[in-house]
Amino acid sequence: MKILSAKQLKEADEITMETEGISSTRLMERAASLVFNEIHERLEGADINIKIFCGIGNNGGDGLVVARLLHKYGYKVEVYVVNYSDKRSDDFLVNYDRYKKESNSWPELVKRKEDFPEISPGDFVVDAIFGIGLNRPAEGWLAELLRHINQSGAFCLAVDMPSGLFPDKVPTEDAAVIKANYTLTFQTPKIVFYLPETMGFAGEVQILDIGLDRSFLKDVKPLAQLIGKREARQLYKPRNKNTHKGDYGHCLVVGGSFGKIGSISLSARASLRAGAGLCSIFSPSCGYTILQTTLPEAMVITDEDANELTNIETDLDPDVICFGMGAGRSANTVKAFKTLLEQTKSSMLIDADGLNMLSENKELLALLPKNSVLTPHPKELKRLIGGWEDDFDKMKKIETFTKKYKVILVLKGAHSFVFSGKHIYINNSGNPGMATAGSGDVLSGIIAGLMSQKYEPLVAAILGVYLHGLSGDICAEKLGCEAMLSGDISDELGAAFLALMKDEKRG
């Protein structure tokens, strides 16, 4: 699903009104009615106090439509107009009058601190103060109101965006921003819902299709793509019957050092679970017995050194080399890595210490085969590209880096981002149970396993990240977040492939 900027969304609104010949008031009614439906479906007429805070722009207009409909269905609604300026939008005014007329009541005006209502933890708050129109931080009593709502402990549902959160900028640390439990957002998700610095404000996000112009949405170049099941499924290539293991490629996993052989075992196992036809592992010789015992499906070749990689020589011709997990970064290993980079004809995936060696020996970056996949977590990224001001600056710097070295970069996190140099893909599967030792090793194995099956490196990265998260979600359902191990994530890959292709039950 495309993620658009506020500007593009406003353009989509305009084009929709023009092509459908509908007014902005009608469009607002359509959008806000969907918000009402979602609330009504969940509350089922519950006898609770609903407090709706409406700004004086179109987000406030949405809030007034929701208020009117809730009132009509017999809910206990109190409406507060947050009067931060006199410039009320036309559609706000239309809906302000309709609310007053149909409910036979006047919303309360909030103009200063003394006007703040008491909010109990049992209340249900609807935040319709600011949407995508926020263009400066909330200040003075307005900022205090946002904090007052946050401190109430009440459940807070944000309409379109949590108020105080910019659609395209990170707020300063002391800025007042609504911390919503749930956000119902219009048409497309906003990028700030997925960035580490801002994702905490939106809570759970649900996207409402308000029917904006299809052809505009199809043609517009997005800020990023959100990868869910529908998108991932389109990338999957089913197998032909008339094939053999050679058709699914040979994955060579290279890494490990004394005490860290488990990491390559995890990656190798994941590459086979992801479908690699063959898997070989190259490790220091201390890994031999461990690997042959823990993973009989893989072939093992060892370095002449017992404890670290010193000379990565094989007569294999693998389709992909998955390099770096547990490798350490001794001078000998750096030398061996350099020679491997100079000589290899295979595609490469670089993870963990492989990335750290690149950071400490920047001249190696120029040796990376084109379209190599790099899979840093944020600390490894910092070593690789240097620091950044905020998440937007970080994305720009990654874009420059991927273009310069012609690589694909997977930035791991609660939502992992895949950067191709041209586009950004944001993963929407996974859960905090995946924050467990070795989870990244499993990811590198999955992506390499897909690359060995001749998925394009970019496709392998996007699909691999999605499947890794989906396996994690299946694990979390069975074991809970605390108990799951990274090996469990690997072992649920089969269930993840099956779930990927299974249709959801309708209704």
Ligand X SMILES: NC(=O)C1=CN([C@@H]2O[C@H](COP(=O)(O)OP(=O)(O)OC[C@H]3O[C@@H](n4cnc5c(N)ncnc54)[C@H](O)[C@@H]3O)[C@@H](O)[C@H]2O)[C@@H](O)CC1
Ligand Y SMILES: Nc1ncnc2c1ncn2[C@@H]1O[C@H](COP(=O)(O)OP(=O)(O)O)[C@@H](O)[C@H]1O
Ranges of H-type helices in 313-408? 331-343, 352-360, 378-385, 391-405
Stretches 60-68, 231-239, 426-434, 497-505: which one binds ligand Y (CB under 6 A)? 426-434
The nearer residue to ligand Y, 306 or 435, going by C-beta atoms, is 435
Stretches 162-170, 336-344, 397-405, 409-417: which one binds ligand Y (CB under 6 A)? 409-417
Q: In terms of DSSP bridges, do strands 417-419 and 424-427 run parallel, antiparallel, or are they unpaired?
A: antiparallel
> Hey, what are 111's tokens?
């103009």
The radius of gyration of the chain's CA atoms, rounded to the nearest angstrom, is 26
The nearer residue to K ion, 158 or 220, going by C-beta atoms, is 158
- CB of residue 70 vs ligand X: minimum separation in angstroms? 16
415 among the known binding-site residues?
yes
Residues 58, 163, 375, 490: which binds K ion (CB under 5 A)?
A: 163
- CB of residue 378 vs ligand Y: minimum separation in angstroms? 8
Q: In terms of DSSP bridges, do strands 2-3 and 224-227 run parallel, antiparallel, or are they unpaired?
A: antiparallel
Residue 204 interacts with ligand Y (CB under 6 A): yes or no: no
The nearer residue to ligand X, 174 or 304, going by C-beta atoms, is 174
The nearer residue to ligand Y, 70 or 426, going by C-beta atoms, is 426
421 among the known binding-site residues?
no
> Hey, what are 378's tokens?
């944020």
> Hey, what are 443's tokens?
């990811």
Question: How far is the C-alpha of 202 from the C-alpha of 428, rounded, in Å?
Answer: 14
Q: How many CA atoms does the CB half-sphere of 393 hold within 13 Å?
A: 9
- CB of residue 265 vs ligand Y: minimum separation in angstroms? 13
62 among the known binding-site residues?
yes
Question: How far is the C-alpha of 377 from the C-alpha of 396, rounded, in Å?
Answer: 17
Residue 145 interacts with K ion (CB under 5 A): yes or no: no
Residues 134, 364, 381, 426: which binds ligand X (CB under 6 A)?
A: 134
The nearer residue to K ion, 12 or 134, going by C-beta atoms, is 134
Please name the residue that has the structure tokens 């049992």: 122
Name 185's bridge partners.
207
- CB of residue 253 vs ligand X: minimum separation in angstroms? 48
Give counts: helices (H), strands (E), the chain. Answer: 17, 18
Question: How far is the C-alpha of 172 from the C-alpha of 385, rounded, in Å?
Answer: 23
- CB of residue 234 vs K ion: minimum separation in angstroms? 33
Nearest-10 Cα torsion for 420, 268, 240, 498? -80
Question: How far is the C-alpha of 196 from the C-alpha of 136, rounded, in Å?
Answer: 21
Q: Among K ion, ligand X, ligand Y, none, what does residue 431 contact (CB within 5–8 Å per kind)?
A: ligand Y
Size of residue set near ligand Y by CB under 6 A = 17
Q: Among ligand Y, ligand X, K ion, none, what does residue 158 contact (CB within 5–8 Å per kind)?
A: K ion
- CB of residue 56 vs K ion: minimum separation in angstroms? 13
Residue 59 interacts with ligand X (CB under 6 A): yes or no: yes
Report the SS3 class of residue 81: strand
127 among the known binding-site residues?
yes
Residue 265 interacts with ligand Y (CB under 6 A): yes or no: no
What helix, strand, coil percent values describe the chain, rounded to 5? 45, 15, 40
Residue 431 interacts with ligand Y (CB under 6 A): yes or no: yes
Residue 200 interacts with ligand Y (CB under 6 A): yes or no: no
The nearer residue to ligand X, 31 or 119, going by C-beta atoms, is 31
The nearer residue to ligand X, 142 or 358, going by C-beta atoms, is 142
The nearer residue to ligand X, 85 or 120, going by C-beta atoms, is 85
Residues 45, 136, 238, 506: which binds ligand X (CB under 6 A)?
A: 136
Largest CA distance in the chain: 86
The nearer residue to ligand X, 210 or 254, going by C-beta atoms, is 210
Judge contact between 298 and 324, C-beta under 8 A.
no
> Hey, what are 99's tokens?
């609310």
Question: How far is the C-alpha of 180 from the C-alpha of 16, rounded, in Å?
Answer: 29
Kindly identify the residues of this chain, within the stretch 79-108, that bind ligand X according to CB under 6 A.
Answer: 84-85, 89
Return phi, psi of residue 157, to 5°. Answer: -105, 120
In angstroms, how far is the first alpha carbon of the chain from the final one?
22
Residue 58 interacts with ligand X (CB under 6 A): yes or no: yes
Encode 161-195: b = buried (16+ Cβ within 10 Å), e = exposed: bbbbbbbeebbeeeebbbbbebbbbbbbbbbbbbb
Residue 463 interacts with ligand X (CB under 6 A): yes or no: no
Residue ranges at the known binding site for (6S)-NADPHX: 58-62, 131-137, 160, 326, 377, 441
Contacts with ligand Y, residue ranges (CB under 6 A)? 377, 412-414, 416, 430-432, 434-435, 437-441, 443, 468
Contacts with K ion, residue ranges (CB under 5 A)? 127, 158-159, 163
Residue ranges at the known binding site for AMP: 412-416, 440
Residue ranges at the known binding site: 58-62, 127, 131-137, 160, 163, 326, 377, 412-416, 440-441
Contacts with ligand X, residue ranges (CB under 6 A)? 13, 24, 27-28, 31, 55, 57-60, 62, 84-85, 89, 130-138, 142, 159-161, 186
